[in-house]
Structure 1
Amino acid sequence: MAITSPCGPCRLPKTAGGLLSLAFPVTASAHVVPGLDGHTLWNAWSTQPWLWLLWGLPGLLVLAGIARLWLQARAGAGVSGVQAGCFLAGWLALGLSILSPLDALGEELFWVHMVQHEVVMLVAAPLLVISRPLGALVWGLPAAWRPGSAQLARVLGLSWSMRVLTRPMAAWWVHAVVLWVWHAPPLFQAAVRHPWVHDLQHSSFFIGALVFWWALLQGHGGRVRQGMAVLYLFTTVLHTSALGALLTFSSRVWYPVYDATAPRWGFTALEDQQLGGLIMWVPGGMVFMVAALVLFAAWLQGPARPGPALR
């Protein structure tokens, strides 16, 4: 159902037709964008080698580190099977969101762009944080490089930045500011038009989500900090839902850059925007709410118990 205004009529057939054109792109070729149709969409993987390298190299090092740990000790040593599964799922989700045809289609449809952001921030980032991959990453390096890795992190200021940004209040503000600033129409449209702004936008979303989830899920500060994490999640539900509702119920198009592309996939630009707002509002809000309830239940049960350190 497409919402044209808070009390406006619903235009189900047109929106449903747009969804069908995505589900069956070959038969709905009359609605596709020239140069990106149902036949070429599945071949529209990223052609930027540096982006593949930034995604692939750290992931392969982590997987190599897990394998090395398990071969030298036993399966589950240092990194549990659950953590390894979370890392693999988060790493693949991140790759699919930024390297697959989903990225190309996000330049044609706002709601697909929104799905891409939600996968990065609400699927990939928390799964990677839960997996605690830093120790395995060090083990994946050649033995001669490991002693210098910590020194390099200090020289580059990574350790200091991590301590500052992963404080819960700082992480909350980083996440909120990144989300709202990048959805300002001038910046969002610049990200669609210019590849380097597009890459900066996705990097900001990913880093902001990493520090947010790290501060909430991996911080060790006893029951007070654990309780504050619940509060931060509930307030995040409020402000992200507010942004999603504004996009959903707006009677004007925020991002005219989609005026030329959304209709060719069966949507008006306004319907496209409203569907994207619903995706942020409902599924996105539910992820934060479930995380808040899980942490609240843990807070009720007793003090937080940090997991064993990976030596």
Structure 2
Amino acid sequence: MSLLDYLMPYDFSPLTVLSFMLVLGFYGVGLLRMPEEDRPGSARIVVFVLGVLICYGVMQTRFDYYSQYMFFVHRGQHLILHHLGPILIALSNPLPVMRFWYGKMGPGVKSGLRPLGWVYRFLQHPLIASFLFVGLIYFWLWPPIHFDAMLSRNLYWVMNWSMLIDGMLFWWLIFDPRPPAITSSLGYGKRILLLALVAIPQMILGAMIVFSRGMVYDVYEVCGRAWPMAPETDQLLGGLLTWIPPAMMSILGILIILRRAMREDGSFTSRSSQMGETTT
């Protein structure tokens, strides 16, 4: 197969392609039209585009074929959709571009989007966001559900899109760039606690798959595997991908939040001292 064959969609989804094109299109046009002083730096732009492209890559290239016929590739697919891609997008902070487009909307459009704001605030409640983040992993890896999802085209797309959207919501809650001291965003201590709490059940699930004595996901036996790999090895690798990388990403997230908190605390301390000197 040529490189072009690997980049072409295995299961073409017009909705998926259009969605990613619209995201990149609105982001690019917003960058060109917004004031230069509000425009994010080149590094943030690259990180955003990279996050979007790797999510597209695991959904609309030959990678998607392997994820349907190899369990460990499937776990790598969801690792990108639920963790790595949303993390990069959240860290790139596309908030200035979103604010630019929001400012262009008319009053009627803004009022029409109000119900979506209510749903968003409900889903971003820390307990609900954490429950959904972990619960969806368990739900789609529950053997009977997983069996049906891998054999049903529509359910398969629902599974992948739900993982991507939920990952975006959770990691935006964690990496929300607004300072908690002066905005309504979640406090840094609570963000760190959430990252620690969601890591534990993911590690337990991964360990259960790794140390399982029998075949947990026999759908790959029914459909056949893309490569001549022993079923036990495929399941072992998939369990490790469910166990170790998500825990490492939680640790990385905690370190990033700690760095932000320390930098922000130093910034506020410096401002307070300057104001005190000015007053005296």
The SS at the match of 2:38 is coil
The SS at the match of 1:296 is helix
**Which residue in the other structure is 1:227 paired with?**
189
Change in Cα spacing, 1:224 to 1:96, as seen in structure 2 (3 Å) is: closer
Query: Normalising to structure 1: TM-score of the pair?
Result: 0.75
Change in Cα spacing, 1:271 to 1:68, as seen in structure 2 (3 Å) is: same
Aligned runs of 1:137-152 on 2, under 5 Å? 137=98, 139=100, 145=105, 147-152=107-112
- Higher share of residues assigned helix: 2
Give 1:284 shift: 2.4
Q: 1:190 aligns with which of 148, 163, 169?
A: 148
Give 1:232 shift: 1.1
Which runs of 5 or more residues in structure 2 are unaligned? 269-280
Give 1:262 shift: 5.2
Measured in 2, the distance between the counterparts of 1:123 and 1:169 equals 22
Q: Is 1:181 the equivalent of 2:181?
A: no
Q: Is 1:133 the equivalent of 2:82?
A: no
Structure 2 letter corresponding to 1:118: L
**Which residue in the other structure is 2:272 paired with?**
none
User: RMSD value over aligned CA atoms?
Assistant: 3.0
1:129 and 1:214 in contact (8 A); partners too: yes
Measured in 2, the distance between the counterparts of 1:168 and 1:305 equals 27
Structure 1 segments (4+ residues) deviating >6 Å:
none
**Which residue in the other structure is 1:170 paired with?**
128
**Which residue in the other structure is 2:119 paired with?**
161
Deviates more, 1:111-120 or 1:261-270: 261-270
The SS at the match of 1:266 is coil
Change in Cα spacing, 1:194 to 1:134, as seen in structure 2 (3 Å) is: farther
| Count of aligned residue pairs for this structure pair | 264
**Which residue in the other structure is 1:86 paired with?**
47
Deviations 1:118-157 (A, max 9, x none): 01112111222223335524646995x5554422211xx2
Aligned runs of 1:25-44 on 2, under 5 Å? 43-44=8-9
Q: 2:20 aligns with which of 50, 55, 58?
A: 55
**Which residue in the other structure is 1:275 paired with?**
237
1:233 and 1:288 in contact (8 A); partners too: yes
**Which residue in the other structure is 2:200 paired with?**
238
Change in Cα spacing, 1:177 to 1:201, as seen in structure 2 (3 Å) is: same
Deviations 1:64-117 (A, max 9, x none): 111222xxx32x624333332221111111111111111111111010000000
Structure 2 letter corresponding to 1:181: F
Measured in 2, the distance between the counterparts of 1:224 and 1:43 equals 40
Structure 2 letter corresponding to 1:276: G
Measured in 1, the distance between the counterparts of 2:144 and 2:201 equals 20
**Which residue in the other structure is 2:63 paired with?**
102
Measured in 2, the distance between the counterparts of 1:94 and 1:158 equals 24
Give 1:264 shift: 5.4
Measured in 2, the distance between the counterparts of 1:206 and 1:139 equals 24
Change in Cα spacing, 1:288 to 1:58, as seen in structure 2 (3 Å) is: same
The SS at the match of 2:40 is coil
Aligned runs of 1:246-261 on 2, under 5 Å? 246-261=208-223
Measured in 1, the distance between the counterparts of 2:180 and 2:99 equals 25
Identify the structure with bigger relative contact order (alpha carbons < 8 Å, sequence gap 6+).
1
Identity of aligned residues (%): 22
